[in-house]
Amino acid sequence: MLYLLPTPLAEGTAPQVLPPQVVAAVTRLPYFLVENLRTARRFVKEVAPHRIIEDIRFVLIDKDSTAAQVKAALEPLLKEDIAGGVLSEAGCPGIADPGAALAQEAHRLGLAVRPLVGPSSILLTLMGSGLNGQRFAFHGYLPIEKAARITAIKALDKEAAQRDQSQLCIETPYRNDQLLSDLLAHLSPGTRLCVAADLTAPTEYLRTLPVAEWRRLPVLPPLHKRPAVFAWGK
């Protein structure tokens, strides 16, 4: 069986955001497929301090892993008849995350796949935004190049109006402020924009306003190097 194990979005919040099922799995699983070895080991030690890290196998599977590496990483579950767990850097494996490749291959191999409940910044943003939760789309990262980004923003704004669909995206944290500036410059004044940062942390920020009102604010929220999600709709 392959467990998809959520991890905290913010440091020091594991006891508040992780349900008992996740803690139980981390406590007993002998094998983990992880996006980052150092942070995965630290997470396991935080959740299950009694465990001896040297007795646990960790295998790195990230966005650069090949299909052959993904398959090889899952083979011990079949050959040794053991269960394994997927750990992302933050949030839910498979949601905007290389864990999706592991789940896909696990299904192909006939392994049972068990996703466990935990924090997802994308869903938390949608929940708190007040935007349409019946029809929504997550677009990952918008283009970096300025002209292409503006074209994408305008196209997604038009689609939001035509389909009554909420649009969500993320950005590399050090470019958050620029993305917010571009959204405010090129979304329609009546479009409602939600900015969510540091979700589940003590410094959490979540606010939804029409773009016209965002433009009138004397000061915009500082988002530089803060994990953030942007959502908008009509």
pLDDT at 207 over 90: yes
Do the strands 205-210 and 192-197 form a parallel or antiparallel pair, or are they unpaired? antiparallel
Q: Which DSSP string corresponds to 28-59?
A: H-SEEEES-HHHHHHHHHHH-TTS-GGGSEEE
pLDDT at 158: 98
pLDDT digits (tens, 9 = 90+) for 153-190: 999 999 999 999 999 999 999 999 999 999 999 999 99
CA pair distance 21, 26, nearest whole angstrom = 9
Instruction: Kindly report the average pLDDT of the chain as a whole number.
Output: 97
Does 96 score more than 90 pLDDT? no
pLDDT on residue 194: 98
At 199, the pLDDT band (50, 70, 90 cuts) reads very high
For residue 61, pLDDT beyond 90 = yes
Q: What is the pLDDT of residue 5?
A: 98
Say if CB 193 and CB 231 are below 8 A apart.
yes
Please give the domain boundaries of the chain with CATH numbers for all domains.
2-115 (3.40.1010.10), 121-233 (3.30.950.10)
Q: In sequence order, what are the residues at sequence separation of 6 or more whose Cβ sits closer than 8 angstroms to the Cβ of residue 176? A: 197, 223, 224, 225, 226, 228
d(Cα 182, Cα 146) in Å, to the nearest integer?
9
State how far Cα 160 lies from the chain centre. 22
Share of the chain above pLDDT 70, in %: 100
In the predicted structure, residue 119 carries a pLDDT above the cut 90: yes
Prediction pTM value: 0.93
Runs of H (alpha helix) within 29-164 = 37-47, 67-79, 99-109, 121-129, 146-163
